[in-house]
Every structure is written in structure tokens, then in C-alpha cells.
Amino acid sequence: MTLAQGRTYLAIPGPSVVPDQVLNAMHATSTNIYEGALVEMMPALVADLKGLARTTGDVAIYIGNGHALWEASLANIVAPGDKVLVLVGGAFGQGWADTARTLGADIQVLEFANNAPIDVQAVEQALRADTAGEIRAVLAVHVDTSGAVRSDIAALGAMMAGLDHPALLMVDCIASLGCDRFEMDAWGVDVMIAASQKGLMMPPGLGLVFVSAKAKSAQKRLVNISPYWDWAPRIAPELFYQYFAGTAPVQHLLGLRAALDLIQDEGGVQAVWARHEKLANAIWAACDKWAENGALRLHVADPVHRSHSVTALYLQAPLATALREWCETKTGVTLGIGLGMAPPDDPEWHGYFRIGHMGHVNAHMVLGVLGVIDAGLKALDVKHGNGALAAASQVISTA
């Protein structure tokens, strides 16, 4: 028997659930791209995006996913042969590092465990060792979605501000913008990238690169910048099409407007952060109970280092895969795979799963996911502690 009929729930860390308001806004035929409402909506859209990132800097909008933004951000700052320090604590830090290397950067990698945050002291040592000041940029991932670890970007930025080193701080917030607290200006971030399909509650397809004044002037030393990736015309277009280096993504812009309105209606980005934090706490309370004398454990031990948008769990192989399959076929809930924990042909690959709780997620969705995981553990005869759902509802009850 299956109980999956009804509305399904994709509880993976991106793409996330798209709200009906966003879908309805996107259900529109193409409009005039030379004048009228679409052109006129841009100043407010740009202002609201900057507010979300907590910056007075600029934003360039790209038609692309996260991989495009890794490239877009580097193309404006790093020339072949330039030195870049990449902080790698998971699959996404590794992806950005690989992109930089392929573009010809001379990369130095600092590796961290995929269940631990960036070690700011180790970064400080690497920058101090670069006495000639040749490192152009430090690349950091705020939330590496593979291990669900959140790093302390405020501490990283403060450390760099205290050093006499010219490196720019570039941060991947693809899994955290609109989920975890992030303060671009206050934390001293020069370039920040985000994509539409995670905390922004949109389909994949729009990418954002936020640029500080320092980064904007650093770009000017590059001799050749790919005209498509060049952020200058996108930031300050003389003609509307230059926002996107071509045809505007009409329907995506309408959807983004609706998503930003949802954030505003909720009470702004701080209310959104608070919701994500509360829901994450409910999830972890349940996980702590399951972990008692059981086969399941949270991948990141210290809650301070956990992201509020995604949770990674270990469940003895091959039970994690079995649980995912059970939840999808029996209940209509799709959980995330364990990414970057073990190679796909390694039996341990089947020992990890993730719960995505980013964007358009509320208490009943989280309680529903926890309920089906609890049922799955029982159906599969997995040893687990009792009281998970009661612990989660206790957290929700204090909202």
C-alpha cells in the first residue's frame, strides 16, 4: 500500500518548494521588454535584493544556476595566473575551487572537515604567510550544503579587516541567502553569490552576484573580461537589455518580484531568518531523540555550526537510502541524498541523507517530514530513540 497520493513534498536542499504566489506570477505571457511595467519594476527589484543581502553595494543579475555564478564572480576578479585562496569544507567549496583552477587561477586550497566550519585562524596564517600580498581573493562557502555546515563569515571578515592584506572576501551564499543570517556590509564581504532556487523560493535560473565598492574597483585591473560575465553593464545598464546581457528572463523576474513580496509580507528578512532558526531547532530536537541508542546521528555535532536551511544525517548504510526510498514511495516526501560524503560506488554512500528546510517551509511541513521519517524508521525496523515528534512539537509550541 502507498499513502503517497496527495501533494508531494520535495524536502531536498534545492530546488526548494515554489510558492503558489510565485508560480501564479510566472504564469504570464511575455511582456514588452523595451518599455512599460517590466522595465519600470527593476529599480525596486534591485533595491529589495540589496536589502536581502544587507548591502549598499551593487547587484548583477544573471540567467544561470549556481555553477554559472561561481564562474561569473571569478571572471570579474581573477585573471589567469592570479593567486586565489579557496576554503574547502565540502562538495560546494570543492566545486568553486575546481572552477577557479579551470579558469587558470593559481589556487591554494585550505581543507576543512565536512562536518566542521572554516578555521579562521588557519586562514589568517595563510594570509600572513603571503607577505607579498599576492592572493587576490579568499573564496568561502557560508553554508556548504553537502555537510550542512555553516561557517562564521562575520569572524572571517573581521579577521581579514584586521590584516594588512589586499585580498577580497568572496562568499557563496547560494544555500543561505534568505535562510541564515547574513550581513554583507557589516561582515566585510566583497563579493557574494546567491541563486534563485533555494532560499529565494524560485525555480532554478536566476543568479545574483553582489558586489562591494572595493570589488567593483578591483575589477578594473582586468584586461579581458568575457562580455557575458562582465558585471559592469549589468550593474549600471544604459539600456534595459544590458541588465541581462540580452533578452530579459521575463517570467523569472515576475516570480522573483512575488518571492520578494512574500519576504516583505512576512516582516522582512529578519523574520525569515527567525522562522528558519525555529524550524531547524524543531528538526534537531527530533534528531537528538532518534539518536538516543539508535543508528542515526546528526552529521554536525555542535548546533552552532549547523545551517538553518539544511540538515545532514548519518544512518548506517544502506539504511539512509532505504529510508529515502520508503519516504518517497510510501508518503510522497522526497529527502535529499548524502552529497560528497562518500563516492557513489562506495557502500557508505547509502549511509547519509539530508533534509532540506529552506525557503517556503512552515511548521506543518517540517512536522510532516519528521512524522514520515519517524514512520520510516519504524517500517524499516531501524533502532531509534522514542519521543522525536513530541520533542519537535515542544519546540514549535514555543513559537
Ligand X SMILES: *Cc1c(COP(=O)(O)O)cnc(C)c1O
Interacting residues with ligand X (CB under 6 A) = 14, 65-67, 92, 141, 143-145, 172, 174-175, 195, 204
Residue 85 or 195: the one with the smaller Cβ distance to ligand X is 195
Shortest gap between Cβ of 245 and ligand X (angstroms)?
A: 19
Shortest gap between Cβ of 326 and ligand X (angstroms)?
A: 25
Shortest gap between Cβ of 181 and ligand X (angstroms)?
A: 16
Residue 88 or 389: the one with the smaller Cβ distance to ligand X is 88
Shortest gap between Cβ of 256 and ligand X (angstroms)?
A: 15
Alpha helix segments (H runs only) across the chain: 20-26, 37-40, 42-53, 66-75, 91-102, 120-129, 153-162, 213-219, 231-235, 250-266, 269-291, 319-326, 363-379, 388-397
Strands 83-88 and 135-141: parallel
Shortest gap between Cβ of 219 and ligand X (angstroms)?
A: 22
Contact in structure between 228 and 388 (CB atoms under 8 Å): no
Contact in structure between 241 and 33 (CB atoms under 8 Å): yes
Residue 175 or 235: the one with the smaller Cβ distance to ligand X is 175
Mapping DSSP to helix (H, G, I), strand (E, B) and coil, where does residue 357 land?
coil
User: Closest Cα to residue 169, out of 131, 133, 138?
Assistant: 138
**Distance of CA 256 to CAs 14, 162, 198, 247, 252, Å?**
16, 37, 12, 16, 6
Q: Which residue is nearest to ligand X (CB)?
A: 66
Residue 16 or 331: the one with the smaller Cβ distance to ligand X is 16
Residue 138 or 174: the one with the smaller Cβ distance to ligand X is 174
Shortest gap between Cβ of 195 and ligand X (angstroms)?
A: 5
Residue 15 or 332: the one with the smaller Cβ distance to ligand X is 15
